[in-house]
A and B are shown apart, each in its own frame.
Chain A
Amino acid sequence: MRMGELATSACVGDVLVTIGLGSCVGVALVDARRPIVGLAHVMLPEATNAPGPIAKFADTGVPELARAVRAEGAARLEAVIVGGAQMFSFSGEGGANIGARNEAAVREELGKLGIPIRAAATGGRKGRTLRVHVDGTRVTVREVAGVEEELYTRT
């Protein structure tokens, strides 16, 4: 899944993937009891008049993802968030560190929706790839040239 995209699945066998999360944040929402998952690839904290697809921004993308996963039949939602790295030390035009702002915005939106964050792999300086396996509702993360690490499994 690419930047600004959002998807859900309840098909065992499906794996939702976002490759190369740098300052972007991947938000995985899963049902705590059944194999229903969703994933959004957020690029910026706020949509204030900025153009782009709904999941490009934390403040529009996270509520839309929650709505979409519930529409698939999910009831008790839990979240796993990945990304928000600061890959470069210069701040660029945007001033503050976009990765940290993305993470803060995602946490705030999840807080508003009352969805608990069960696991996170955020910050740091490295890019990450996030995989959400519908089968067993497993969420895994991998850094470049690293090993696949399990962040979450449905119990």
Chain B
Amino acid sequence: MEGPHTMTPHYTDMQLDALRELANIGSGNAGTSLSAMLGHPVDISVPAASALPLADAVEAAGDPESLATGVVLPIFGDINATVLLLFPPDDEATLCHLLGVPPGTEDGRGALGEIGNILGCAYINSLAGMTGLAIEPHPPETVCDMVGAIMATVLAVQADQTNLALVMDSRLIVEGQECELTFLLLPSLEGIDELLARLGLA
């Protein structure tokens, strides 16, 4: 049941490949920062860049009813986007342990927010460097809730322009520690166009 005004942007494989490469380099930098903070090697899964209907995008981050701590960084400037890091509870506990802070406390959440901030900035800075865009993250906000509620609320902000969301996600895995976190970049519709224009692929 699509409305009469439905506008469905279409991205070519070449465009999605280019965005995936951006995600690859961005998450590579984020992984290097995480590794430096923890003193452990960090692996990065092959990132994905997919254009999904909003309802599917909500589910792209995993079981919508599962619990996770989410760190959200709104990105403003030449492009608007949201960086979202998701930590499942067990991985959050491992990460807090590695950082020497008690999980599930104010300090623990503060530390995760700071990790989100550092990783988000590393990712965004490499994106800015590659594309020449002036972009700047706002201070992070940390919530602990259902993954679906976090995703839907983040996506609702841009949902009046589009029924499609571009989800760029990667997983950072701390080697030997069974600790994994999901890193998502959710650019606005104009943001995607601007990214592609800077890459000469608009």
Taking Cβ atoms with an 8 Å cutoff, the residues of A that contact B are 2-5, 19-24, 43-44, 47-56, 60, 85, 87-90, 92-94, 98-99, 125-129, 144-145
Contact = CB atoms under 8 A, between A and B. Distances in A.
B72 A88 contact: yes
Nearest to B164: A51
Interface SS majority for chain B: mixed
Contacts of B59: 2
Interface SS majority for chain A: loop
Contacts of A55: 1
Contacts of B55: 2-5
A52 B149 contact: no
Contacts of B5: 49-51
Contact of A144 (B80, B141, B145, B156): B145
Nearest to A18: B148
A5 B2 CA distance: 11
A99 B16 CA distance: 32
B128 interface: no
Given A88-B141, A90-B141, A52 B148 contact: no
A50 B158 CA distance: 11
Interface string B145-188: 11111111100111111110000000000000000000000001
Nearest to B57: A3
Interface string B64-90: 110100001010000010100000000
Interface in B82-107: 82
Contact of B80 (A24, A93, A126): A93
B80 A87 contact: no
A29 B151 CA distance: 26
Nearest to B55: A2
19 contacts: A5-B55, A19-B148, A22-B152, A24-B152, A43-B159, A48-B160, A50-B160, A51-B3, A53-B3, A53-B163, A85-B149, A87-B149, A87-B150, A90-B74, A92-B74, A92-B157, A94-B160, A127-B148, A144-B146
A147 to B, nearest CB: 15
B163 A44 contact: no
Given A88-B72, A125-B143, 14 more contacts: A3-B152, A19-B65, A20-B58, A20-B150, A24-B153, A50-B5, A51-B3, A51-B6, A87-B149, A90-B141, A92-B157, A127-B146, A127-B148, A127-B153
A98 B7 contact: no
Contact of B159 (A21, A50, A125, A145): A50
B138 interface: yes
Contact of A127 (B82, B150, B159): B150
B118 interface: no
A21 B188 CA distance: 22
Interface in B7-66: 7-8, 54-55, 58-59, 64-65
A53 B145 contact: no
B157 A3 contact: no
Contact of B3 (A21, A47, A145): A47
B149 A50 contact: no
B154 to A, nearest CB: 8
| Most interface-central of B5, B54, B145, B162 (chain A CB within 10 A) | B145
